[in-house]
């Protein structure tokens, strides 16, 4: 996720503008100019998990600009809409998308978790009742409320899913929402917090350089 840049690009000659990638998949600390580390790839993996489960590209309905980068640093994450996702899967996605790189699981832990999901055990079978319950809920939903991923969404004209130079200055310190790990929140972020970030970024006092 941090290797998509021109082959002849010299970071040493351009130390302040060396962020290349696809905005929705880049960890917030990297957007602020920190170096790529393994934890940043774990964040990207969490975004891919969201995309596979939801069937929707991340942030497909908004412009991929500095305003989105600011909101991501402030804790914005895509929400699962119109589908019920098992809590054990939501929990793993949330850990991968944690604003603090230290809190993200390592690749070997994710491998072990996915392996346990695959082979199963007595305790895990109890947890997988969540999946059965989710399937029942999703099956009972009206067909019109379940997104047909090839037909039912439109991509914003300024949503860019190709690697490019991202040069954002003065982004806020990355953070999670206050209720990010609230057990009562069964989505990646709460609807209340998501709505609170849907504000006019121009109202924020951010100095441009």
Q: Which is more confidently placed, 90 or 35?
A: 90
- Cα end-to-end span (Å), the chain: 27
The pair of three-digit structure tokens given for residue 64, joined into one six-digit string? 């991929």
Residue 65: Cβ within 10 Å count:
15
* pLDDT of amino acid 208: 45
What is the value of pTM for the model shown?
0.80
% the chain with pLDDT above 70: 70
The pLDDT of residue 117: 83
**Are the C-beta atoms of 69 and 170 separated by less than 8 Å?**
no
CA dihedral defined by 98, 79, 140, 113, rounded to 10 degrees?
-20
For residue 69, is pLDDT > 50? yes
How much is the pLDDT for 153? 78
11-201 maps to which CATH number?
1.10.510
Asked whether the CA dihedral 72, 203, 80, 143 is positive or negative, the reply is negative
CA 47 to CA 7: how far, in whole Å? 26
Q: Over the stretch 164-198, which tens digit does the pLDDT of each residue have? A: 888 888 899 999 999 999 878 889 999 989 988 87
């Amino acid at each position: 996720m941090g290797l998509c840049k021109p082959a002849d690009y010299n970071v040493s000659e351009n130390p302040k503008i060396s962020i290349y990638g696809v905005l929705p998949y880049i960890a917030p600390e990297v957007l602020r100019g920190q170096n790529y580390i393994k934890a940043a790839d774990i964040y990207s993996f969490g975004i891919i998990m969201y995309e596979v489960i939801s069937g929707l590209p991340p942030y497909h309905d908004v412009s991929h600009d500095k305003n989105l980068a600011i909101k991501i640093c402030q804790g914005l994450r895509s929400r699962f809409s119109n589908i019920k996702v098992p809590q054990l899967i939501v929990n793993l996605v949330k850990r991968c998308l944690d604003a603090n790189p230290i809190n993200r699981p390592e690749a070997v832990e994710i491998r072990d978790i996915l392996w346990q999901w695959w082979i199963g055990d007595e305790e895990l079978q109890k947890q997988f009742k969540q999946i059965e319950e989710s399937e029942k809920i999703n099956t009972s939903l009206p067909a019109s409320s379940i997104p047909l991923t090839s037909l039912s969404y439109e991509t914003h004209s300024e949503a860019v899913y190709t690697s490019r130079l991202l040069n954002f200055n003065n982004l806020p310190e990355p953070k999670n929402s206050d209720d990010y790990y609230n057990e009562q929140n069964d989505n990646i972020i709460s609807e209340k917090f998501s709505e609170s970030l849907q504000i006019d970024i121009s109202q924020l006092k951010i100095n441009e350089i």
